[in-house]
Amino acid sequence: MIGAVIIIIKVGNGNSLEPFSIPTNLGVGFSAIMFGSIFSILDFTGTGVVTTVSEEMREPKKNIGRSIVYAMILTAISIIPATYALTVGWGISNISSFASSPDAGIIVFEKYLGPIGAVLLIIFTINSYLTNGVSKATAIGRWWYSAASDGIVFPKRFSKVHSKYKSPYYAILTWSVSSFALDVIMGLYFGPKIAAFILEAGTGISIIIVHIMANTSLTLYTRRIDRFHFLKHALAPAFATVISLVVVYFTISDIWSKWVTHPNPVNDAYFASFIITLLWVIVGGLIVTLYYSRKKPNVLINAGEFDVENTRV
């Protein structure tokens, strides 16, 4: 944040509102911009990690919402100025070469903040990746642990807690090993850069679809328990869902058009990632829901009703 402010000040007359506008003369379609938003959404995924430790929080129904709002605000404060600083620092007239540069951020920071600024950026970037990994492990480990504890999908061994650290170590280790194996296989086949884009595209789409499903579930659930409030439980979720559907639609359009007009292994992989995501999230989710609603309805009814100490929340 401090580095971004310094860069913006040093740019001086190079500052402009142009980075906040949609270009009309660069051949960049709206669908391509929506496809790009899939990757930017991943910058905010860590803000919801607090929901995965709700079983251990005091007054979770009140504090989780506050925590997410605060996290979103802080994330926006740190990301938006930094993104703008890199844009104007690189030069708006030369921005077409920004994406093709392997170390654009380091170049900008070194230009305006010297070698020390570049080194600090590298350190903070590495730290961000490490903390992101911890956040993902925490979130997924807790999800799998909770599902296993409720008897949904995962076997009971995933609900094991480490005797010393009290963490769901079995779930965390299983996810870490499987995720590492997938990353290595994709990286060896497509190369690290393309593999990252393909995996992130699938992840971004799945996150959006899951949030759409959560928005719908919130409306239906609050009506069922007679706590429905139109603004909070219908209008706000519906607005978020509409925006999400727009992003998904144009992303699908972009992936489909590239797959049809420019068939190659990379576009094939993007398309396959999209199809697998849809099957995994939507079809898989429907199959699991139908199975438990018909075969084990009590499991679904009681899911998430108890905290880590087996106390009703």
| Matching residue, tokens 């679904």 | 300
Query: What does the pLDDT read at residue 27?
Result: 52
- With a cut of 90, say whether residue 238 has pLDDT above it: yes
CA-CA distances (angstroms) from residue 35 to 39, 79, 173, 260, 266?
8, 19, 32, 16, 15
Mean of pLDDT values over 173-197: 88
Contact 198, 186 (CB under 8 A): yes
- The pLDDT-based confidence of 103 (bands split at 50, 70, 90) is confident
Q: Which pLDDT belongs to residue 28? A: 58
Give the integer Cα–Cα distance in Å for 132 and 130.
5
Please determine, for residue 310, whether its predicted confidence score (pLDDT) is greater than 60: no
Per residue in 200-222, is it b (16+ CB within 10 Å) or e — as a string?
Answer: ebbbbbbbbbebbbebeebbeeb
- Sequence spans of domains, the chain: 2-302
Q: State the CB neighbour count (10 A cutoff) for residue 76.
A: 13
Could you give phi then psi for residue 306, rounded to 5 degrees? Answer: -125, 145
**Average pLDDT along the chain:** 82
d(CA 203, CA 213): 15
Query: Contact 113/3 with Cβ under 8 angstroms?
Result: yes
Q: Where are the alpha helices (DSSP H) in the chain?
A: 2-11, 30-41, 60-90, 104-149, 169-190, 192-224, 230, 236-261, 265-278, 284-295, 297-302
Q: How confident is the model at residue 30 (pLDDT cuts 50, 70, 90)?
A: low
What pLDDT sits at residue 305? Answer: 60
Backbone angles phi, psi at 312, to 5 degrees: -65, 135
Q: Please enumerate in sequence order all residues whose Cβ is within 8 A of that of 311, keeping only pairs 6 or more positions apart, or say none.
A: none
pLDDT tens-place string over residues 66-96: 888 888 888 888 888 888 998 888 888 888 7
- With bands split at pLDDT 50, 70 and 90, how would you rate the model's confidence at 29? low
Q: How far apart are CA 118 and CA 274, in angstroms?
A: 36
pTM of the model: 0.75
CA distances from 129 to 25, 35, 132, 176, 187 (A): 35, 23, 5, 15, 17
What tokens were used for 233?
């439980």
Asked if 73 contacts 65 with a C-beta cutoff of 8 angstroms, the reply is: no
Residue pair 64/51 in contact by the 8 Å Cβ criterion: yes
Domain covering 2-302 assigned CATH 1.20.1740.10 in the classification: yes
Q: What is the pLDDT of residue 311?
A: 46
In terms of average pLDDT, the best of 134-138, 193-197, 233-237, 248-252 is: 233-237
Residue 239's pLDDT is: 92
Q: Evaluate if residue 53 carries a pLDDT over 80.
A: no
Q: pLDDT of 120-166, one tens digit each?
A: 989 988 888 888 788 788 888 888 888 888 888 888 888 888 888 88
- Segment 245-250 long-range contacts (CB within 8 Å, at least 24 positions apart): 245/212, 246/34, 247/34, 247/37, 247/38, 247/41, 247/208, 248/205, 248/208, 248/209, 248/212, 249/34, 250/30, 250/31, 250/33, 250/34, 250/35
